[in-house]
Amino acid sequence: MKRLLLTLCLSSVTGAVCLAEDFVLTDSTVLPSAEVIRSGIDFVQVRFDGGMRKVKAELLPPELQERFEMRPEDVKARRDAIKRAEDERRARQQEKEDQIRRSLQDAGLHPRYMTGADVLGLSGPLLSLDARVAEYLASLWNKREAERLGLDNEAERFAASVKTSQPFYEDARKDYLERERTEKAFRDKIESLERQLDDAKADNKRLQQEIADLRKQVEKAENNSGNTTVVVPPSRPSIVVPPYYYGPSIGPAPIVRPRPIVRPRPVVRPRPVVRPRSGGSSGLRPKGELPASNNPSNNPHTIRN
C-alpha cells in the first residue's frame, strides 16, 4: 500500500512538471498542447487546448505509457496492491469481530453479579427505589445467575439474602400499588370533570344560540305593526310573551307629557288662646268652670239675644 501511494505521488509530480506537447492517442485522437495534471490507477488526467480529459492507459502510446508508468504490468501491480490492502483490512476487521465474540462467550461462563448500587444506577432518576429494595433486586438477580452456572453454594447464599429483604420489597410493592390506585382515581375524576365541562360548554353554546334567535324574533316583531306573540321553542320551558301594542309603524312617535302632581295644601289650625283668671294666681280653674275657649261668652260667633 505504501509503495502504491509513493508511486502515485511520483507519477503526479512527474506529470505536473512535464512540458506541454501534442498527444496522439492510439485511436488517432490528437490532444494539442497536452499536459498530465493527475495520474490514477489506470488513467491520466490531461489538460489540453480543448479542455480536460481522462485518458485510459490502453489509449496511450507505448512511450507515454512508459513515461507515466501506465504499462499493463504497472496497472496490474497497482490493482494487486489495492486488492491486498483491502484483503488485509477485511482480515483485521474479521479478527476484531472474532475476538469480541470470544470475549462475550467467555463472559457467559462467569457469573455477572450485581450490587444494590448497580441497580440504583440502572434505575436512574425516574424510579425512586429504596436502597433495601435495590439490594433485594440485586440478590434476586445474583441468585438466578448462580443457578444458571450451577453454583449451588452461592445460590443458597443469595437465596437467604432474598428471603431477608423480601418484607421490604412487599411493603414497597404495596405502597406502589396504593399510589397507582390513588393516581388512577385522580385521573378518573379529572376525566369526569372534563366531560362535565364539555357538556356545560355545549349547553352554554346552545343557550347562546337560543338567545340570539329570541333577539332576532323580538327585532322582527318590533319592525312589524300590530300585536305580536313570541313563543320560545319547546326545547326550553314554554314562555309566552304577552301581546303588546307597539304603535303605528309609520309616522313619528307620539310625545307623552306627564301630568303635574298636585299635592293638597296642609290645613293650619289656630292655637287656642288661654287667658289667665282674674281671681287668683295659682293658674287652676275652679271646679265646674268651663275653659275660656269653651265659654260661650268668649266665643265671638255666639249669637247673643
Residue 100 pLDDT? 77
Q: Is residue 180 part of a domain?
A: yes
Q: Is residue 303 part of a domain?
A: no
Q: Is residue 256 part of a domain?
A: no
Are 89 and 43 in the same domain? Answer: yes
Q: Is residue 150 part of a domain?
A: yes
Q: Is residue 155 part of a domain?
A: yes
Are 93 and 137 in the same domain? Answer: no
Q: Is residue 172 part of a domain?
A: yes
**Residues 168-216: pLDDT tens digits?**
888 888 888 898 899 999 999 999 999 999 999 999 999 999 999 998 8
Are 65 and 140 in the same domain? Answer: no
Are 162 and 87 in the same domain? Answer: no
Residue 118 pLDDT? 83
- Residue 171's domain comprises 127-190
Spans of the chain, pLDDT less than 70: 1-19, 104-109, 124-126, 225-256, 274-305
Boundary-marking domain end, from 190, 217, 240: 190
Residue 301 pLDDT? 55
45, 37 in Cβ contact below 8 A?
Answer: yes
Boundary-marking domain end, from 142, 162, 190: 190
Are 180 and 143 in the same domain? Answer: yes
Q: Is residue 165 part of a domain?
A: yes
Are 46 and 87 in the same domain? Answer: yes
Q: Is residue 280 part of a domain?
A: no
Residue 15 pLDDT? 42
Number of domains comprising the chain: 2
Boundary-marking domain end, from 190, 215, 241: 190
- Percent of the chain surpassing pLDDT 90: 20
Are 84 and 135 in the same domain? Answer: no
Are 82 and 133 in the same domain? Answer: no
Are 8 and 53 in the same domain? Answer: yes
